[in-house]
Each structure stands twice: as C-alpha cells, then as structure tokens.
Amino acid sequence: MSTAIRASSILPGNREDIELHTADGLRLVGELARPVDRDPVGTLICLHPLPTHGGMMDSHVFRKAAWRLPALADLAVLRFNTRGTSSVRGTSEGEFDNGVGERYDVAAAIEYAEFAELPNLWLVGWSFGTDLALRYGCDPTIAGAILLSPPLRYSTDDDLAVWAETGKPLTALVPEFDDYLRPAEARRRFASIPQAEVIGVPGAKHLWVGNAETVLDEVVRRVNPTVPVPLPNTWDGPMETGDASAYADRTVAAFADRPVPGPAQSRAGTEAE
C-alpha cells in the first residue's frame, strides 16, 4: 500500500554521523546518507544558508534531500555544519568567519567525499552556501554545482571567471520573488559564465517553503538524469517519521537570510590567494 511522502517522511537509507577535519584544525559535525543496497550514482555536498540567521545542515531542503534522495534517486547526500554552526546533530568547532575561514570547511567536505570514494561529486549551495560554492568549490574533483537562491553577496567577478574557464556545469535556481536576486538580474550577473543555466522558479521565495519538491526534482534532473522527474510523492516500502518538534524553532524565521555586509573585498582577495 502506497503511503504519501510528507515533510517529515524518512525513506530507507544508510545514514551515519561523520566528522570533517579542516586544515586549520577544526572538527565539523555532519551526516552522510547513502542508498541501502546499492552504490550511489552521484553525491550531493550540501552547503547551508547563513548560520547567523538559522542556516544549518538541517535546513529543510537539505534535510528532505537526505531523507528522500538515497531511496528515490540513488544519490548520496553529505550534509555538515560549517564552523560555529549548530543543529540537532551538534555544533561544529570554531566561529562563523563571514565567508572567509569557511574555505577550509568546503575543502574538508570535498576531501572527505573523495577519500570515501563517493562518485560524481556535486555541490549544492543555498544562499550563503552558494557563495561558498562559487568562491571555494571549483575543485578538480567537483563535477558541477547547483545554486539555490544565490544572492551573489560575497562572490566576485574573479570567482565567476574561474567557473567560466573550467566549463563545469553550473545551475542557479532563482525564486521569482527572491529577496536578494531575482531571475532577470541573475541572468545578467551570471552571463559571464557561458555554461551557466539560470532557472527562474515561478511563485517561489528565497526560503523555498512549499517548493522543496521542485528543488529536489531539478537537482536530480542534473545529477542523475536517468531518474524520471517529478519524483514520486508516495512510497510503497518501509518509512519512518522524523521528529518535527526538533525543528520547531528553526522554521521560516530561523531560515531567514537577511542582507548583511559582505567581507571587505581586499580581505576576500587576500584570503583567496
């Protein structure tokens, strides 16, 4: 008998708590979710929204990805808290560094995925996480990147030029009613990357509330195109239910990503060298 897949539904998967270790000596907490009885076809490395405004590895789109995509799309999902960020999983060491020291967090996640021999590595950044992907994620082991609600707050033209030169696929999912960067302006800003695909999502807002399924479909369409989309909204096998109360204080208000000043460009440029 089919059961509806709801926001708190957890489909079968092998899920293990993991730790990442950064080059500057910090321990970051995370989780790796994989299919139960087969190797994954691709891997999502999730970079969460701004932690000072509630972003974390459990931000709802990433939580749903980890709970559904190993079973529905043969994908591995690696989530983690950047430095100083807390969630139910725990708190990563260090302090929020305004998008500078987080370069080591991104590198640690990529390194973990590489040593774990996870295949077909894709970055999936959301808001602040898109800037981390653009600035620090164009690693030789990365196949491509998917950007959710990119504000382009911290990223520079030089960062975009790096992606343009590699030719790696880059997709930006931009809500019609985003608070920071809407589709028309996003197309103009990403025009310097010839291979960039900017997809405006009608009716959506920055937080993707009510549109998580659209996001997951677009992610799967690119990372494992052999899987038909839209993904099923029912499941015929065993299913668990997540504890929704654990996230009661991290709903829309907690996910909010208010405008904040980016790092001084001179500092950003120095750190990127």
Residue 258: how many CB atoms within 10 A of its CB?
9
Number of structural domains in the chain: 1
User: Taking residues 90-97, what's their average pLDDT?
Assistant: 97
Residue 169 has pLDDT above 70, yes or no: yes
Read off the pLDDT of residues 114-145 as tens digits, 9 standing for 90 and up.
999 999 999 999 999 999 999 999 999 999 99
Residue 184 has pLDDT above 80, yes or no: yes
Looking at residue 243, its pLDDT comes to 81
- Token pair belonging to 163: 């992606």
**Residue (of 159, 147, 267) closest to 199 by Cα position:** 147
> Quick one: DSSP state of residue 185?
H
Q: Which residues pair with 51 in a beta bridge?
A: none
Read off the pLDDT of residues 51-86 as tens digits, 9 standing for 90 and up.
999 999 999 999 999 999 999 999 999 999 999 999
Residue 16 has pLDDT above 60, yes or no: yes
> What CATH number is attached to the domain comprising 108?
3.40.50.1820
Give 273's pLDDT tier (boundaries 50, 70, 90). very low
User: Taking residues 6-26, what's their average pLDDT?
Assistant: 97
Q: What is the extent of the structural domain holding 248? A: 3-272
Read off the pLDDT of residues 241-266 as tens digits, 9 standing for 90 and up.
998 666 655 544 334 444 444 444 33
Looking at residue 260, its pLDDT comes to 47
Enter the pTM of the model: 0.91
Read off the pLDDT of residues 201-252 as tens digits, 9 standing for 90 and up.
999 999 999 999 999 999 999 999 999 999 999 999 999 999 866 665 554 4
- Token pair belonging to 260: 């904040």
> Mean pLDDT of all residues in the chain?
91
Instruction: For residue 107, give every residue at least 6 positions away whose Cβ sits within 8 Å of its Cβ, in sequence order, or none.
Output: 22, 23, 136, 139
Q: Position of tokens 């931000």?
A: 59
Looking at residue 259, its pLDDT comes to 45
CA distance 247 to 252: 11
CA distance 58 to 54: 10
